[in-house]
Amino acid sequence: MSNVPEVVIAVAQVPRFGRDAVAVLAEALARSPFVVRTINVSAKAPTAPLVRNDTGDCLILLAHPCHQHDGFAVEGRTASVECLKAGSWRQDSDLRLYAHTCNGSVVLGSQAWQDSVEEWVSYEGSIEILDTPISADLWLGLLIEIGRDFARTHSPEAAIASIEGLYRRAIRSVDQMFSLGDSREVMKATLQLAADALCASSE
């Protein structure tokens, strides 16, 4: 039996937002060789699925925060944008959540979300992704590594140092991609920006 934790990627893509970071990563996920279970989150299907929690599995959420930062933006029932709030998010209390979301810490740190999601890692600022296949594929691989790493650590706070190491490794790998030209520095900057914004729930 494999000792690699299972990660599940939940994608909250909103077509009205156009080609944003979530759309870029969703496209990378569709062509990826990684075997990862994926679900789409929308107003029509808002409930997060329960995944195996006896091995410390992790749910990775790709989403944007709502305008009021009280939930996550999802596609509405009539092609509108709706806000998925804590009351509609049901997950096993032992499941860990890695939210690849700008200002995800503001959403998940609120009292309403603390009651729904106890252990999480996210960001306390903006995160950016360069819209190129190489950048998207690198980010997707990094997100999966982060989810698996988070599942292995004993607490969200302890996971931060380890995840920072994953970011440093990704930056070093980009530094060797000389064929990227000027975009190499942009990719490194976006990775560093995200690493500096990492945040986790308290124990």
- Report pLDDT digits (tens) over 91-129: 666 678 999 999 999 999 999 898 888 899 999 999 999
pLDDT score at 56: 44
* β-bridge partners, 75: 81
Q: What is the pairing mode between strands 198-200 and 58-62? A: unpaired
Question: What is the residue-wise DSSP string for 150-177?
Answer: HHHSSSHHHHHHHHHHHHHHHHHHHHT-
Cβ neighbours of residue 44 under 8 Å, at least 6 residues apart? 75, 77
Token output for 65: 């925060």
d(C-alpha 47, C-alpha 203), whole Å: 25
Helix (H) / strand (E) element for 98: namely: strand 96-100
CA angle in degrees (0–180, nearest 5) for 68-139-85: 25
Residue 42 — pLDDT band, cuts 50, 70, 90? confident
Digit-coded pLDDT (tens) for 135-186: 999 999 999 999 999 988 888 989 999 999 999 999 999 999 888 888 999 9
